Amino acid sequence: MNFSLLADPLFRLPFLTGLTLALLLPAVGMYLRLRNEWVAALALAQMASAGALLAAGLGLPVVAGGLVAALGAAVVKTLAARTGESGYAMMMLVGWAAAILLVANWPIAEQLGHALFDGQLYFTGAGHLALALATLAVVAAGLAALAKALLLARFFPDFFRARGYHERRYHFLFDLLAAAATALATTSIGVMAAFALVFVPPWFAYLWGGSWRAGMVIAIAFGALGHCVAFALALGLDQPYGPLCALVLIVMGVTGAALCAARAALRRHGKPLR
């Protein structure tokens, strides 16, 4: 164990890139969960990884490849809206199969493939951080603009339509934001770490949050804390970041959910947990 690496300036950029994504992805996940579409995150991440690997093989920018593939997946998803979860499952399988085949048959894609599957955040540089910050700004502004429409369409669909609005337009815009965030995260922290940050913090926030606003704060704080702990453990124990990030988030989430259940049980018996 060598936790002195935490003070090494070499790891500052990867830490900040991961932190930016840990603030961004849980917020996106809150809205994906609102629409029961959290599986979309995994589908988009798999498509992004395949796109990144293809770009690497062709000598093109990896992040751009991931972004184009994920945005393309969001467009296809909108066009095939009726397929619902089945559409995501298909995309997930296509992305996974394409990525594995590219890694197996294209030596130049092999190293990147390992980074994408292992979640090696340490290879990210200033470019990744700048892109992550820019994406955070765009997604935050986009979510602020779309939030009310997405919530209204979910909880008052008939009222929403009676006002002359069309859910599809708002959902498509949100899908583009989700695809951009997921693609960038996939090429920085790997497929499953990106998915874990989209899935676990909102899952916990939906259990604990007393309001939508509180839920957003809980999800974002949960993601940021999970990233900090996972990064410290990964560096100190010399382990890949991705799996540790997923495991830390799950341990935090399950522990929190158990506390939540205990609190509810005590409340039912008239003894509020203080």
Q: Which residues bind another protein (CB under 8 A)?
A: 34, 148, 151-152, 155-156, 158-159, 161-164, 205-206, 208-215
CB closer to another protein, 9 vs 164: 164
CB closer to another protein, 138 vs 207: 207
Check: CB of residue 189 under 8 Å from CB of residue 237.
no
> In the bound complex, what is the minimum distance in angstroms from residue 31's beta carbon to another protein?
12
Calpha distance 226→222 (Å, rounded):
6
Check: CB of residue 57 under 8 Å from CB of residue 106.
yes
- Kindly report the backbone phi and psi dihedral angles of residue 5, in degrees, each rounded to the nearest multiple of 5, phi listed first: -60, -20
Nearest CA-CA partner of 99 in 25, 184, 190, 188: 190
Check: CB of residue 197 under 8 Å from CB of residue 29.
yes
CB closer to another protein, 63 vs 153: 153
> In the bound complex, what is the minimum distance in angstroms from residue 68's beta carbon to another protein?
34
> In the bound complex, what is the minimum distance in angstroms from residue 135's beta carbon to another protein?
25
CB closer to another protein, 3 vs 155: 155
> In the bound complex, what is the minimum distance in angstroms from residue 152's beta carbon to another protein?
5
CB closer to another protein, 4 vs 211: 211
> In the bound complex, what is the minimum distance in angstroms from residue 224's beta carbon to another protein?
18
Calpha distance 4→24 (Å, rounded):
28
CB closer to another protein, 11 vs 208: 208
> In the bound complex, what is the minimum distance in angstroms from residue 134's beta carbon to another protein?
29
Distance between first and last Cα of the chain = 37
CB closer to another protein, 114 vs 263: 263
Calpha distance 60→44 (Å, rounded):
20
> In the bound complex, what is the minimum distance in angstroms from residue 36's beta carbon to another protein?
10
**Would you call 83 helix, strand, or coil by DSSP?**
helix
Residues 6 or more apart in contact with residue 141 via CB below 8 angstroms: none
Calpha distance 176→193 (Å, rounded):
20
Q: How far is CA 74 from CA 59, 71, 92, 157, 199, in A?
A: 24, 5, 12, 22, 18
> In the bound complex, what is the minimum distance in angstroms from residue 132's beta carbon to another protein?
26
**Would you call 54 helix, strand, or coil by DSSP?**
helix
CB closer to another protein, 134 vs 258: 258
| Per-residue tokens: 162 | 């009676």
